[in-house]
Amino acid sequence: MNDIFWKLPRKSNPLSLVGTTTQKKEERRLEYRLITHFVVFALLTILMGKYWFADSASLFLYSYGIVVTLVILTTFFFAFVLYKDPYELAIRNLEAFRPEPLVSCMVAVKDEEDVIERCILSFINQTYKNRKIIFVNDGSADGTGKILDEYSRGGAIQVIHLAKNVGKKKALSEAMRIARGSIFVFSDSDSVIAADAIEKIVAIFNVFPEIGAVSGHCRAMNGNKNLLTRVQDSWYEGQFSIRKAFESVFGAVTCVSGPLAVFRREAVYNFIPAWENDTFLGQEFKFATDRTLTGFVLGSKAIGGRLKKKYADSPFVKDCDYPLNDWKIVYCKAAKAWTNVPDTFSKVIKQQARWKKSFIRNMFFTGAFYWRKPLIPALNYYLHILFVLAGPFITFRHLIYLPLRGNLNAAILYIAGIVFIGFMFGLAYKLENRDCHKWMYRPLMSLLSTLILSWLIFYSALTIKKMIWYRG
């Protein structure tokens, strides 16, 4: 386990956490042990079921099911047992609260007059005060610009107005050209961040100089609106508290997500020209903003020298040439953010199609160097690519092909397995949100993702040159 990134600081007391009692900690540990044992038992039961009941005529398909279950089992184990919130580790060293580096907060916005004010206020009301807030009006045609100007007149924020829409990457690049902070905080215009989010992440950067980026935790802001938003909210919880937590154990988080994405200036600054001019299949690629920027940090040593040489004439490189570093990227569960999720099925489809285009692009970008990372997360990363590409074919085989050949048990067991895995993620949701009942919606997301959304990978591949941004 030498590759595991998180180790306790030498001067810390591993039995004490600031602001918690020993009794509460023991109760929390017991809950995690119980849920971990249950999940392990359940997944082992699935493995046994596959051994006794699955059709092993095809070695590949039989092995596929076994590997999928083992990957999920490994992910849960690392997320529940070995993940430690970097903020909780940081606050054990009280010196973390003394330095107050300048933080540049940046948001690109286009036509968000209905939601932009709450985003602005979430930055203004931060407990961390040594900050500069920059909003970029990316050619909005509604009243967004007027709202931004109202806050800028009082000096609360700085506003950059762009005459025409240039896209999120180029808009944020304009903000970074004038940003002076040693830490960059990004968020989406339809998101809000908790009042103490920046303060917590700054503490992480202060204590751990090897960290180049931190992803916060995100939930759905409109999660109670209807069934569809509740289902997505239950999915968001698992994507962060399980999947990102797993990668964070190794300091190798693959996507610092948009609602709360924080980077050390020196980890990304020289790569901004490559980011804003990102191309794929011979044209500008406007999507994958979060994944690609994360990729530059992850691959700093592998691709950094070539990129800095290519853009040597850019002010982002020639004005301040930072040394390349093998940066760690982690996930902070304690730093909270909320974002609007699509509230109709058509909006979900459009958003998912865009996300899958980003997945395809980064399969070739991050995938080119992620093998350099520790074996366990690297293996998980490439297997995940295999699962996404092979998933629709597996679904077709179990739900259409085999039943047509008289094997109805295949369809029943396959659906049961999907629901059961969703139930496992639902239990994890319940553990993190004891008083919330949305955990019961998580199996519905598993069914929606497997039976419908997974097929969008083909549509996204065929239309990947269609760069129409749709957030939903």
Q: State which residues form the domain around 313.
A: 101-340
**Structure tokens, 212:** 């180049």
How far, CA to CA in Å, does 463 sit from each of 248, 420, 456, 459?
Answer: 33, 33, 10, 6
Q: What does the pLDDT read at residue 273?
A: 97
79 belongs to a structural domain = no
379 belongs to a structural domain = no
Q: Which residue has the higher pLDDT, 434 or 362?
A: 362
Q: What does the pLDDT read at residue 50?
A: 58
208 belongs to a structural domain = yes
Per-residue pLDDT tens over the stretch 343-366: 999 999 999 999 999 999 999 999
pLDDT at 2 over 50: no
Q: Which residue has the higher pLDDT, 105 or 154?
A: 105
pTM for the model? 0.90
96 belongs to a structural domain = no
140 belongs to a structural domain = yes
229 belongs to a structural domain = yes
Is residue 165 within 8 A of residue 300, CB to CB? The reply is: no
pLDDT band, residue 72 (cuts 50/70/90): confident
303 belongs to a structural domain = yes
CB count within 10 Å of CB 326 equals: 14
pLDDT at 46 over 70: no
> 261-264 and 211-220: which strand pairing?
antiparallel
Q: Which residue has the higher pLDDT, 35 or 288?
A: 288
Closest CA to 290 of 187, 175, 382: 187
Per-residue pLDDT tens over the stretch 228-283: 999 999 999 999 999 999 999 999 999 999 999 999 999 999 999 999 999 999 99
Mean pLDDT estimate for the chain:
89
Q: What is the count of structural domains for the chain?
A: 1
363 belongs to a structural domain = no
Give 131's strand partners: 103
pLDDT band, residue 43 (cuts 50/70/90): low
Per-residue pLDDT tens over the stretch 152-196: 998 999 999 999 999 999 999 999 999 999 999 999 999 999 999
CATH code for the domain of 180 = 3.90.550.10
Of the given ranges (22-26, 70-74, 270-274, 363-367), which has the lowest mean pLDDT?
Answer: 22-26
Of the given ranges (20-29, 111-120, 220-229, 321-330), which has the lowest mean pLDDT?
Answer: 20-29
